[in-house]
Amino acid sequence: MTSFEDKTVLVTGGASGIGFLLGKKALLKGAKQLVMWDINEDALIAAASSLVGKGFSISTNVVDVSDAEQVQKSAEEVISEVGKVDILFNNAGIIVGKAFHEHSMEDINRTMDINTKGLMYVAHAFLPGMMDTNSGNVINITSAAGLTPNPGMTVYAASKWAAVGWAESLRLELQKTHTGIKFLNVMPSYIDTGMFDGVKTPMLTPLLDPDVITSKIIRSVEKEKIHLKTPFMVKTTLFFRGILPTRVYDFIAGRVFKVYDSMETFKGRTNE
């Protein structure tokens, strides 16, 4: 079992959404220090202030996780000021919900850089400290979009497929040499945080409540689970994609469960 008691926790994308909730719940579980990273300075200040006002120990860094040099510099500052990060929530992510041909080159690069490279940059900065002590937890918030194709999120899906492959490979790699470091790959469907505002949820796949999913993530960390796929239908995705002919799977996913229609009314956050 993993305990949050007296641990230093870092959350990327920590100023809002599930990132903020994960940080707050880690503190309520007894974490001694929460390090919040976010690209939005105003939101970061407001979020940190709300937690400091409740007596928690908080430090913040304005960080664009797609910038490797910025990540490394900020990580060095964190390690110098608060020491080793015990529990890392690799959470920051974005989505551009439109047809592939409507993406700009900036849309493509930004999505891949944040959702895929950002996870790698942050983990690369903090893993050495965990490896030195053979202890720590890395929680990668990937997505159910990393398990199945979906029109309207081509680049987002690509970034998450890559993220899932990297996270799984890293877990296996470290299992050979550093069994004390635990990895959790979180693959949820749509979460009701505003990021996916306007989506039409597929059949039997409800919009996830942020409070509920973050509590599940915290429990999964404590229980040292390897995967968290939610809701239940996400757990069946790879099985059915593996056994069904592609056209049959596409018919079931697209026509029956309406997965492929889910992004047709997507709006997303108005400030993204």
**Two tokens, residue 157:** 């899906």
- Please name the residues in contact with 124: beta carbons below 8 A apart, sequence gap of 6 or more: none
Bridge partner list, 191: 208
Sheet containing 58-62: order of strands: 58-62, 33-38, 8-12, 87-90, 136-141, 181-188, 227-230
**Two tokens, residue 132:** 């030195």
Q: Are the C-beta atoms of 119 and 140 separated by less than 8 Å?
A: yes
- Please name the residues in contact with 173: beta carbons below 8 A apart, sequence gap of 6 or more: none
Catalytic residue among 156, 190, 249, 260: 156
Say whether 249 is catalytic.
no
Q: Are the C-beta atoms of 138 and 127 separated by less than 8 Å?
A: yes
Catalytic site positions: 156
